[in-house]
Amino acid sequence: MVNICVFASSSNNLDEHFYKDAAELGKLLGQNGMNIVYGGSRLGMMYACASQVKANGGKIIGIMPQRLYDMGYGNNEDCDEFILTAGMRERKAKMDEMSEGIIALAGGFGTLEELSEMIVQKQLGYNKKPIVFLNTNGYYNNLIKFFDDVIKYNFAKNGTQELYYIAQTPEDCVKYIKEYNYNSLSYTGKF
């Protein structure tokens, strides 16, 4: 089984199409022999995805900082494996360690921070994992434009776009992950 880390919003107050895509992604991950590594709660898009992974044959690996667990957000009942960490930094490191690929669904500042760190990790050669944005209803269009400007104005090298993939549908995400060649990355990691 392949473990896929999913970064996503924990909000329960989003438009329904975001939860629909999250659930569809979870269904497809489970049906394709993939587990989910996620934030460990029953909240938002992250749980919409995780619950469908489990309902379709995959496992749920929840990773949560002790503080959030103490606040009552833990979902250790549904998780096949539930790991508590000292803080958010340790949580990200554990999620990275336990996954073979990354998918970012729509999310807020936490998702952006997690995703940015994974791109930098790949840029510096710490991993060659696939990093995928699920661009539900064009949610990431402005961020992608910003990334293009980062490259255009030489804050990052041309070719940095090879570090991540923009998917428009859950099916596209899973197809990309399944076909990803860990040895094919031509980006040199040089600044």
Domains of the chain, CATH where assigned: 2-176 (3.40.50.450)
DSSP symbol at 41: S
Backbone angles phi, psi at 174, to 5 degrees: -65, -40
161 secondary structure, DSSP code: G
Give the model's pLDDT for residue 187. Answer: 45
Residue 191, pLDDT score? 43
User: Which of 5, 30, 7 is CA-nearest to residue 111?
Assistant: 7
Global pTM reads 0.93
- In degrees rounded to 5, what are phi and psi of residue 36? -115, 135
Concatenating the DSSP letter of every residue in 42-104 gives: S-HHHHHHHHHHHHTT--EEEEEEHHHHHTT---TTT-SEEEEESSHHHHHHHHHHT-SEEEE
- Supply the pLDDT for residue 185: 58
Q: Write out residues in the chain with pLDDT < 50, as ranges.
A: 186-191
d(CA 125, CA 128): 7
The reported pLDDT for the residue numbered 1 is 62
